[in-house]
């Protein structure tokens, strides 16, 4: 009962946040330097005609009116019409957005699996050479650029070893789910790299902390085997912070995905957004930002709910 | 199984072994080092003792004496770089040193159980009591079904005095009080019925009332099963209450061992004597100190006669040797002798006659109907808003030159009262008046002007000092803040020297960082910082609770001495009745946020005391000995 109420509150609180985000998304789009109409049509039309075009897009209205027009467009009109392409924004972003979500999900899986594994290895073997070696690799990895790392992955696994495809989302003659997975491996690793290393650090520190706690010693002093202690007591107690970090890292991950898409030729919204920025295509930029921000909010909400449900102090309040 | 095996004679003869009782744990020549490769770095050296069935052996020492390390070594749970460098540990005749963790597992729980110091931390916060007890039962008795496991867990909870076992089984640790958690912990450690139970300061984190219950329970659990208990403690009251035999450790070595009555009544080693003389006792202040109470029939009103009776008992040199006997750098010469001639006239002189006239009826601090409620939950948290009243309608007054004690169990609201008086927390209602000036409700400049006149010494000296600043800088900062530090470096250095000398510390310490000081020295710095602005009132929030007994004794003597010399007024918060009796002239007793009793210290033993006061008195382990020398 308490849980349902708490989630209800969180949902309610999302509304003002979403409103604020929409204002920011709108302003970021509008206030970027440059005029899309001029960029698009200046060499073909006279100044009066340009003003007319502006009027049809509603760009001559005061800013606050433009904002509400845009809100209405987002709500009912597919996010408005792209200035460059002349089609509804969500028709452009929609299908690509799904692809981006797939890649983000791949990145999250890579982040969680490898982050946990790397962190656990270092944490369990704390104060041995294994910990030092793993942490050195983590240190180096954290300083790599995603672009470069993506290219190295392609060179090693696609060109040299030829285990995995070079890029794209599907083979030319199509292919099933396995084909999609094969295409997904390398970009997911690249997208998840930084996040997995951040997570690994937290997992490692969490394990070191937990092993030093009195309750770990309590169960160790009763002769419970090590692996059981790690699996149950350590694992359960670092879980909330691991979930928390993963949730926060998804934000970073989405940003990374947009770059990774261009390295691996992944048909996501990243390419669309880059084009939109170049063409000063307001509606697309605004719609894209809003979409990503909404995703981020949803992820945050899910993270909070999960973390709360893992905390016995809140579960029964 | 028997103790007939030849044993390296590490310790002096062991009187008091019950004839015929088999030695279940034999430790001989044990040395432990954190740097196994460099000789001479041992933190435990050549320690040996034996423990027989049905016996309670107390391993006593101050922090850093190696008592906890010894326990960890026996359990095979030494922290990573530490290693046993020599010696043997035999449990029921089996050698434990050299065994792998896997090898040790066979002994853990079944033959050797342990109860750790902090009951708040020794249960896993993420699992219910049922789950945790169940895990232990499943490990030791794999054949049992889940119904039988629950039955056994509930049975053990009842055995450790938990009436509503079913509720406790379903509870998470945070839903239980500290005392309850320690009972659960005792049940957990005893489930597999080990022959030896090790308890590492099992009651240090509990208040006195609960402490006694837990100790009695522990005694019962051990003796009814004829198991042996190795009790690690720094508290001689606990030793006296529980132990059959005592081993005193200092700097990792055994300095004295013997049966309890021998060691406590006729200690041979000077270190043991020092430790014993430092223990505050109800009805008898430790040697060489005292607020000068114990004059029967004397009017206990202010001003109190301070220190007049101090020199009559015990050894006057005791305070000096307390410092000299320790490796610390405290110079006893810097300190004014404690038991100086008392001149009551010194104590009452008002610092400013005009202001004193302002204050009501000669009270320096007046607290009226003080109430503090905290809100829990509320908007945005998804939980209903609840209010929790921590302090309720508390009223008392402190006269100049007086030491007023506030005592109560943990959670009774005593620290909250201290913070309200100190203007560190806003009060919900009621008033705190300091020398005619409102503290409650006044903020900003008005409060800032008053601040130098009342200062606060915190419970935890370590966390109340900034680790990144030298302690000298921390003492001088408040002075600079009020423009009192003088001009130039030399003036500052001179001031600092003066402030450090006041608390008996040499001037060199001013350049150090907190981590380079001992616990006692840190608390002295805390006091020096509070005294830097020459306040009239010090609020002392359990300033000695984190310190060893001998350090505590010297610190209390310092406080009494400062009060006498500087004419200070104290509000002293404590949970140890003997300590409060030692320092304070009047005592207020808090129970669940309300002041339930208030009396002059000499009336502590009157029949008219409130129930809570008598409960605190009864729980004090040394009460039985009150009055006896």
H-assigned helices in A125-157 = 129-142, 146-153
Task: Specify the length of chain B in residues.
Answer: 629
CA B325 to chain centre: 21
In which band, very low, low, confident or very high, does the pLDDT at B422 lie, cut at 50, 70 and 90?
confident
Of the listed ranges A33-37, B72-76, B535-539, the least confidently predicted one is A33-37
- Show me where the domains of chain A are located: 2-76, 94-278
H-assigned helices in B225-360 = 236-242, 260-265, 270-278, 318-324, 344-348, 353-358
- SS3 state of residue B94: strand
pLDDT tens for B218-233 read 888 888 888 899 999 8
Q: Has residue B42 got a pLDDT over 60?
A: yes
Partner-chain contact A2 B192, CB within 8 Å: no
Contact B189, B197 (CB under 8 A): yes
Q: For residue B594, give Cα distances in angstroms to B371, B417, B516, B541.
A: 9, 10, 41, 18
Whether the CB of B127 is below 8 Å from some CB of chain A: the reply is yes
Chain B CB contacts of A232 below 8 Å: 135
**Structural domains of chain B, ranges and CATH numbers in brackets:** 1-111+194-278 (3.40.50.300), 119-193 (no CATH), 344-466+533-625 (3.40.50.300)
Of the listed ranges A73-82, A272-281, B170-179, B342-351, the least confidently predicted one is B342-351
Which residue has 């990774």 as its token pair? A260
From B4, B57, B6, select the one nearest B28 (Cα to Cα).
B6
pLDDT given at position B291: 52
Reduce the secondary structure of B368-383 to three states and give it as a string. EEEEEEEEEEECCCCE
- Phi, psi of B540, deg, nearest 5: -110, 105
Q: Which chain A residue lies closest to B381 (C-alpha atoms)?
A: A6
Whether the CB of A215 is below 8 Å from some CB of chain B: the reply is yes
Q: Which chain B residue lies closest to A314 (C-alpha atoms)?
A: B383
Q: Which chain B residue lies closest to A210 (C-alpha atoms)?
A: B124
Q: Has residue B333 got a pLDDT over 70?
A: no
Section B513-521 average pLDDT: 81
Report the distance separating Cα A157 and Cα A166, nearest Å: 8
Nearest to B126 among A214, A219, A312 (CB): A312
pLDDT tens for A129-140 read 999 999 999 999
A34 phi-psi bin (left φ>0, alpha ψ -120 to 50, beta other): left
∠B266-B267-B273 over CA atoms, to 5°?
125
Report the distance separating Cα B429 and Cα B421, nearest Å: 13
Instruction: Give Rg (Cα) of chain A.
Output: 24
Whether the CB of A101 is below 8 Å from some CB of chain B: the reply is no
- As beta bridge partners, residue B573 has B406, B541
From B396, B398, B401, select the one nearest B303 (Cα to Cα).
B401
**A vs B: CB pairs below 8 A:** 99
Handedness of CA B325, B327, B332, B338 (dihedral sign): negative
pLDDT tens for A234-267 read 999 999 999 999 998 888 888 888 888 888 888 8
Contact A123, A115 (CB under 8 A): no
Reported ipTM exceeds the 0.90 cut: no
Partner-chain contact A218 B116, CB within 8 Å: yes
Q: Which CATH architecture has domain A94-278?
A: Orthogonal Bundle (1.10)
CA B481 to chain centre: 33
Instruction: Quote the pTM value.
Output: 0.71
- HSE-up (13 A, CA, CB side) for residue B11: 24
Output the DSSP codes for B459-505: S-TTTTS-TTS-HHHHHHHHHHHTT-S-SHHHHHHHHHHHHHHHTT-
Q: Within chain A, what is the greatest distance between any pair of CA atoms?
A: 86
Which residues, 6+ apart, have CB-to-CB distance to A167 below 8 Å? Answer: A154, A183, A263, A264, A265, A266
Partner-chain contact A221 B110, CB within 8 Å: no
In which band, very low, low, confident or very high, does the pLDDT at A204 lie, cut at 50, 70 and 90?
very high
Instruction: Give me A174's structure tokens.
Output: 């199509």
Contact A279, A82 (CB under 8 A): no
- Percentage of chain B beyond pLDDT 70 is 81
From A103, A268, A256, A262, select the one nearest A184 (Cα to Cα).
A103
């Amino acid at each position: 009962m308490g849980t349902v109420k708490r989630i209800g509150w969180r949902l309610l609180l999302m509304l003002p946040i979403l409103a604020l985000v929409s204002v920011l998304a709108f302003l970021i789009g509008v206030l970027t330097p440059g005029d899309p109409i001029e960029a698009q049509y200046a060499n073909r039309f006279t100044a009066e005609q340009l003003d007319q075009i502006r009027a049809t897009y509603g760009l001559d209205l005061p800013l606050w009116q433009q904002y509400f027009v845009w809100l209405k467009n987002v709500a009912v009109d597919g996010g408005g019409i792209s200035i460059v392409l002349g089609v509804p924004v969500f028709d452009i972003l929609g299908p690509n957005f799904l692809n981006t979500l797939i890649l983000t999900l791949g990145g999250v899986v890579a982040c969680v699996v490898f982050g946990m594994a790397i962190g656990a290895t270092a944490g369990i073997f704390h104060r041995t050479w294994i910990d030092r070696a793993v942490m050195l690799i983590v240190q180096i990895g954290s300083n790599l650029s995603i672009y470069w790392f993506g290219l190295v992955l392609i060179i090693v696994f696609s060109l040299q070893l030829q285990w995995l495809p070079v890029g794209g989302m599907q083979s030319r003659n199509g292919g099933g789910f396995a084909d999609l997975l094969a295409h997904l491996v390398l970009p997911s690793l690249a997208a998840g790299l930084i996040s997995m290393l951040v997570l690994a650090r937290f997992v490692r520190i969490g394990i070191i902390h937990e092993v030093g706690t009195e309750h770990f010693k309590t169960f160790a002093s009763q002769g419970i085997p090590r692996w059981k202690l790690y699996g149950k007591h350590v694992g359960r107690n670092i879980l909330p912070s691991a979930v928390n970090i993963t949730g926060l890292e998804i934000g970073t991950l989405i940003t990374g995905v947009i770059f990774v898409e261009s390295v691996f030729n992944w048909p996501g919204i990243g390419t669309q957004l880059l084009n939109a920025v170049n063409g000063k295509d307001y509606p697309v930029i605004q719609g894209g930002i809003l979409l990503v921000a909404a995703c981020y909010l949803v992820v945050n909400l899910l993270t909070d709910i999960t973390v709360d449900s893992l905390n016995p102090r809140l579960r029964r309040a | 199984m028997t103790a007939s095996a030849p044993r390296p004679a590490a310790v002096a003869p062991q009187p008091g072994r019950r004839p015929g009782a088999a030695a279940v744990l034999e430790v001989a020549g044990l040395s432990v080092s954190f740097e196994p490769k460099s000789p001479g770095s041992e933190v435990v050296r050549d320690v040996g003792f034996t423990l027989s069935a049905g016996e309670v052996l107390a391993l006593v020492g101050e922090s850093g004496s190696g008592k906890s390390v010894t326990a960890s070594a026996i359990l095979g749970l030494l922290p990573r770089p530490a290693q046993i460098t020599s010696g043997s540990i035999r449990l029921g005749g089996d050698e434990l040193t050299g065994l792998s963790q896997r090898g040790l597992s066979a002994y853990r729980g079944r033959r050797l159980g342990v109860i750790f110091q902090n009951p708040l931390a020794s249960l896993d916060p993420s699992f219910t009591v049922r789950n945790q007890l169940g895990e232990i039962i499943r490990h030791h008795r794999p054949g049992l079904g889940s119904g039988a496991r629950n039955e056994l867990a509930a049975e053990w909870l009842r055995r450790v005095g938990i009436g509503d076992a079913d509720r406790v089984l379903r509870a998470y640790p945070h839903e239980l009080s500290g005392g309850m958690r320690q009972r659960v912990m005792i049940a957990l450690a005893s489930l597999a019925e080990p022959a030896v139970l090790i308890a590492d300061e099992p009651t240090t984190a509990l208040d006195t009332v609960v402490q006694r219950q837990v100790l009695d329970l522990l005694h019962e659990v051990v003796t009814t099963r004829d198991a042996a208990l190795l009790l690690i403690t720094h508290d001689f009251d606990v030793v006296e209450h529980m132990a059959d035999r005592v081993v005193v450790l200092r700097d990792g070595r055994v300095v004295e061992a013997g049966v309890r009555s021998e060691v406590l009544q006729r200690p041979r080693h000077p270190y043991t004597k020092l430790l014993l003389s430092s223990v505050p006792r109800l009805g008898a202040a430790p040697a060489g100190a005292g607020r000068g109470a114990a004059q029967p029939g004397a009017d206990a009103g202010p001003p109190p006669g301070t220190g007049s009776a101090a020199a009559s008992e015990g050894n006057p040199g005791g305070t000096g040797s307390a410092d000299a006997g320790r490796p610390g750098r405290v110079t006893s010469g810097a300190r004014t002798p404690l038991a100086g001639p008392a001149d009551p006239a010194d104590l009452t002189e008002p610092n400013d006659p005009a202001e004193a006239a302002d204050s009501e009826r000669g009270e320096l601090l007046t607290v009226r109907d003080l109430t503090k409620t905290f809100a829990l939950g509320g908007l945005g948290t998804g939980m209903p808003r609840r209010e929790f009243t921590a302090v309720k309608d508390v009223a008392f007054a402190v006269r100049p030159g007086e030491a007023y004690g506030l005592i109560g169990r943990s959670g009774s609201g005593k620290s909250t009262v201290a913070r309200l008086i100190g203007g560190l927390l806003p009060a919900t209602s009621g008033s705190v008046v300091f020398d005619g000036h409102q503290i409650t409700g006044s903020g900003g400049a008005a409060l800032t002007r008053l601040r130098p006149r009342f200062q606060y010494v915190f419970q935890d000296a370590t966390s109340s000092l900034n680790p990144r600043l030298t302690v000298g800088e921390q003492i001088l900062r408040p002075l600079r803040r009020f423009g009192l530090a003088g001009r130039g470096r030399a003036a500052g250095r001179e001031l600092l020297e003066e402030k450090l000398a006041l608390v008996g510390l040499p001037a060199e310490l001013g350049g150090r960082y907190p981590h380079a000081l001992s616990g006692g020295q840190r608390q002295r710095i805390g006091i020096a910082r509070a005294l830097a602005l020459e306040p009239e009132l010090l609020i002392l929030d359990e300033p000695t609770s984190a310190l060893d007994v001998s350090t505590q004794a010297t610190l209390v003597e310092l406080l009494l001495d400062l009060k006498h010399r500087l004419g200070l007024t104290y509000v002293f918060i404590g949970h140890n009745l003997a300590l409060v009796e030692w320092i304070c002239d009047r005592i207020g007793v808090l129970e669940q946020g309300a002041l339930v009793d208030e009396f002059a210290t000499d009336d502590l033993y009157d029949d008219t005391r409130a129930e809570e006061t008598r409960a605190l008195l009864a729980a004090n382990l040394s009460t039985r000995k009150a009055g006896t020398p």
